[in-house]
Copies of this chain bind each other. A is one copy, B any other.
Amino acid sequence: MAGNIFGKLFRVTTFGESHGHALGGIIDGCPSGLKLNFEEINNELNRRKPGQSSIVTQRKESDEVIFLSGIFDGFTTGTPIGFIIKNKDHNSKDYFNIKNIYRPSHSDFTYYKKYVIRDYRGGGRSSARETVSRVVAGAIAKQLLKIYNILIKAYVSSIGGLNLSENYNKLDFSKIENTPVRCPDIQLAEKMIKYINKFRKKGDTIGGIITCIIKNVPIGIGEPVFDKLHAELGKAMLSINAVKGFEYGSGFYGTKIKGSNHIDKYKNNGSTKTNFSGGIQGGISNGMDIYLKVAFKAVATIKKKSINFNKKKIFVKGRHDPCVLPRAVPIIEAMSALVLYDYIHMYKILLF
């Protein structure tokens, strides 16, 4: 109820503040017998890691995960997987000046009013550093989904006003990691990088959109009524720091298309000619690609003077992201994997 548990059967609980001793989590419900690929887990962590390129924050965090339980001889045992990521770069002095002030458009004020006692250093629990635990759990979920051939690919599709053309089918996903901005259209990626650098130099920030494609989901995944597949995906995405919106399939644009044009006509084999539905009908996967978009605002941690409501001018130091989207790509994939695998668990229960 306190909001730090995600999932139902594959259940992830996270803990940790940005400048405490360690972050970490427990995965409860991972099946026994999975041979873990630790290199892949580290690879996902590296994609989220600060300091990975010039367009993200230059903080240094090694983000090394230590597994404490639930694994024996390299295999999962079906018992809870406890893990920690130690905090090394906790330069608490940087944050001492914000002890009694509330940075605008941050959670400082709401945390103070809700909890009174709070770890104010670097946002404490409200810091996006918490997502490091999600990436660990998501990396394991991804490995479980591979058994079912389910593929999840996210990429940056918009930075500020710079938009990627819609049709994801023509994109070369293998290029996503070729550029620090994680946009598979290399020419557009270069424009995006320049654009981000413009904000970086001014100490300002900019937002954008991440698109995520999920392929090979078996028909029948998702539960009707309240726990529709896209509703859980939406909640998962909206739980990520700085996210302001979510859509899937035709999304907001779909509100302008008349019914007779929005219908996805069937081919003979049960698949559809178009995919306005975004791979989900009535909350249940229909076998077509699932695609969704996630809107990120520009993060509020900027190098400009802000006025606190106790009228003191503040100037927050620190090394911040001019644009979080490149680092958020693996988080989107992790949350997609957590949602999908939780349902795959359930899928086996309800079908014939």
Contact = CB atoms under 8 A, between A and B. Distances in A.
A68 B21 contact: yes
A174 B274 CA distance: 42
Contacts of A3: 28, 223-228, 283
Nearest to A2: B29
A28 B205 CA distance: 33
A20 interface: yes
Interface in A1-51: 1-6, 8-9, 11, 13-17, 20-26, 28-34
Contact of A226 (B4, B17, B304): B4
Contacts of A114: 32, 78, 219-220, 284, 350-351
A105 B264 contact: yes
Contacts of A109: 266, 270, 281, 286
B351 A258 contact: no
Nearest to A30: B2
Interface residues of A, number: 147
Interface in A307-352: 307-309, 311, 345-346, 348-352
Given A258-B160, A276-B105, A75 B117 contact: yes
Given A84-B68, A206-B259, A225 B350 contact: no
Contacts of A6: 226
Contacts of A180: none
A296 B255 contact: yes
Contact of A238 (B78, B199, B228): B228
B2 A223 contact: yes
B199 A259 contact: yes
Interface of A: 1-6, 8-9, 11, 13-17, 20-26, 28-34, 66-70, 72-73, 75-82, 84, 102, 104-107, 109-111, 113-119, 124-126, 130, 158, 160-161, 199, 204-209, 219-220, 223-228, 230-232, 234-236, 238-239, 241, 244-252, 254-260, 262-270, 272, 276-278, 280-286, 295-302, 304, 306-309, 311, 345-346, 348-352
5 contacts: A102-B266, A109-B266, A158-B255, A207-B254, A235-B238
